Chain A
Amino acid sequence: MLSVQNLEVVYDDVVLALRGVSLEIPDDRIVALLGANGAGKSTLLRALSGMLDIHDGDVRKGDVTLDGTSVARLSATAMAGRGIKHVLEGRRVFRELSVEENLRVGAHVARKDLRANLVRVYDLFPRLVERKDQLAGFLSGGEQQMLAIGRALMSGPRYLLLDEPSLGLAPMVVAQIRDIIAEINHQGTGVLLVEQNATMALQIAHHGYVMETGRVVMDRPAAELLADDDIREFYLGLGAEGERTSYRDVKHYRRRKRWAS
């Protein structure tokens, strides 16, 4: 199990981005992490994947543990090597490398399984097979997201940390990505799914957390969150699947405040 306990993270020695967060990602589960802009979701993923360093972020208190041992001080390379793969917000494919080269870089910490993992990834994303020799920069947004996820899977990770995979994608594509995430989990990878599209995330998640300004304000089974009227109204939006709720709406903002207090 991958988990954080009372984690406090500070950027540049001044910006307190996480204020005592505890969260668990059991093996073989999908855990959804919801929250508005700036809540600290990406920061939490960075803490889990050893990527705080290059953002001048520091674990000030608390711990990150993998199967009970502390991994809070490990580098990104070490974390990837231990089977924790972070799919960054905004896809971040290597635009000037071909699709297959992107995947090969994804296998960096597991060179000897490259063949087998390539077969598996192409199996999950048949679209990428057709485009394997194209430059990644020319793929559509949805295809780039698939490539970003496929690239992370190339080392056969135990845990996949996904940062807003639905960002900027059309509803149809979001549904596709959602189903693929469920399938990846079904094949035995634990998933931490950060989303602003809560509908999408809670449909496949087993458990859900809601964050506000660096704290976890709600921690419940996904089905309960999905059924919760407040969450439905203020996080899931009432519109069609994939539609974003406007968090700037003043009334909504006030209502949300209740959870935090």
Chain B
Amino acid sequence: MNELLTAVFSGLGQGSIYTLLALGFVIIYKSMGVISFAQPAFMMSGAILVSYLSPRLGFWVAVVLGGLVVAAVALVVERLAIRPMVGKAVFVIAIITIGVDIIVRVVAGAFVGADPRLVGDPWGLDTWSLGGVQVQQRHVAAFVAAAVIVALLAAFFRSTPIGLAMRAAALDQEAAMAQGVNVGTVFATSWAMAGFLAAIAGVFAAAGNPLDQNLWIVGLAALPVIILGGLDSLLGAVVGGLVIGVVEALVRNYHSDVFPDLATNTGSLAPYVVMLLVLLVRPYGLFGTKEVERV
């Protein structure tokens, strides 16, 4: 039982990171109809940037500042590389985002260096023990951070003019334009938000261990999450992220009991298997759009 709970908590922590990443994918998808494969690079840049900033500014200031800088970079990327391509095939734009991903990743990766770098988080690998259940502090922190960010996003999309305009433009771009919504502003805002979210996710993904060049691979795990949750659903990103995080942790934990002879851990396959199973039942993912229709 304790072992199960330990795995669930670690899964929720990892799942929170997936959620933050997936939210960025979904926000961009909703505004432009494009999947941005640049997210993993923004995630890695965030972690690297924070590793440079936190010794000087302290962890928390570094996280916020790092997130904002990556958001600004995403904004510039959108303006220079993506906006001029609007109107081209979605496929073409997706490929461009892969190009952006590689460039940003190579540039950022150059700063990782040979010495081990830390993001400077206060948790390391410390745990709390809750009645025999070991809970890693960094997982709790990731979960709390994700919860706060999700609440802020909900308020943003519900109450602010630009948030509302973004939802409107996602539903019907031309009708939103007719209300005077500037679609360029919507695109830019969505990229900046996705950049910020990816950077924060990167920091939590890197917490506890030295940075390594393969950190961005975590970003790819968000892909099955968005398919599972529904490409255009923010709720799907939240639920999907947590579900996949937990399933992955459980499989990883019980792997050796089930497949004693298999050396590679099946945990990393779990997200894709879950995704496939859900798609068999629900083609648009858990919360993907079935259009609201008057019957």
Contact = CB atoms under 8 A, between A and B. Distances in A.
A101 to B, nearest CB: 6
A109 B180 contact: yes
B178 A101 contact: no
B180 A54 contact: no
Contact of A96 (B161, B175, B292): B292
A97 B167 contact: yes
A87 B178 contact: yes
B193 interface: no
Interface in B268-295: 291-294
A131 to B, nearest CB: 12
A49 interface: yes
Contacts of B178: 49, 51, 76, 80, 85-88, 92, 152
B165 interface: yes
| Interface size band for A | 35 or more
A225 B18 CA distance: 65
A138 B292 contact: yes
Contacts of B176: 94, 105
Interface string A151-192: 110110000000000000000000000000000000000000
Contacts of A104: 161, 164
Given A77-B182, A105-B179, A135-B292, A111 B174 contact: no
Give the interface SS of chain B, mostly helix, strand, loop or mixed. helix
A105 B164 contact: yes
Nearest to B185: A77
A229 to B, nearest CB: 37
A20 interface: no
B173 A54 contact: yes
Contacts of A151: 179
- Among B167, B176, B178, find the residue whose CB has the most chain A CB atoms closer than 10 A: B178
Interface in A134-156: 135, 137-140, 151-152, 154-155
Nearest to A157: B180
A221 interface: no
B174 A92 contact: yes
A95 B292 contact: yes
Interface of A: 49, 51, 54, 75-77, 79-81, 85-88, 92-97, 101-102, 104-106, 108-109, 111, 135, 137-140, 151-152, 154-155
Given A77-B177, A88-B178, A152-B179, 14 more contacts: A54-B177, A76-B177, A77-B180, A80-B180, A85-B178, A87-B178, A94-B171, A97-B164, A101-B167, A105-B181, A108-B180, A109-B180, A135-B292, A154-B179
